[in-house]
Amino acid sequence: VQLVESGGGVVQPGRSLRLSCAASGFTFSDFAMHWVRQAPGKGLEWVAMISYDGSSKSFADSVKGRFTIARDNSKNTLHLQLNRLRTDDTAVYYCARDVYYYGSGNLHYWGQGTPVTVSS
């Protein structure tokens, strides 16, 4: 199982960024996927979840209405669209695979993370 995030970088407040997570080594369409972030020196914060087929999505209150999550099962890829970015969105963003097809929150496999810095 391998999860490889990309798309992070430095962006100004109010701008947008799109993160991607390329999955391999398992049947991507069989599992729910999540994004979790970790601000510098801080703990983990769950961000968003999408079910195996994309029919169910959920978001943390801190990002609701600003971030969207999507998946392309034909390309084994997960995306997180970050809009109206704020300085407190600065963090390493991890994609993680759930244990099940629905979102159980049991995050079995994690990528190495991609850093996002929101700064003027």
Chain residues that interact with other proteins, rule: CB under 8 A: 34, 36, 43-46, 49, 58-61, 94, 99, 103-113
Task: Indicate the residue among 12 and 104 with the shorter CB distance to other proteins.
Answer: 104
Least distance to other proteins, CB of residue 18, Å: 21
CB closer to other proteins out of 49 and 82: 49
Tokens of 10: 């430095």
| 3-state secondary structure labels for all residues of 59-117 | ECCCCCCCEEEEEECCCCEEEEEECCCCHHHCEEEEEEEECCCCCCCCEEEECCCEEEE
Residue 74: CA count within 13 A, CB half-sphere: 0
HSE, CB side, 13 Å, CA atoms: give it for residue 63.
Answer: 25
CB of 74 to other proteins, least distance (A): 26
Q: Which is nearer to other proteins, 22 or 99 (CB)?
A: 99
- What's the closest the beta carbon of residue 106 comes to other proteins, in angstroms? 4
> Which is closer to other proteins, CB of 22 or CB of 45?
45
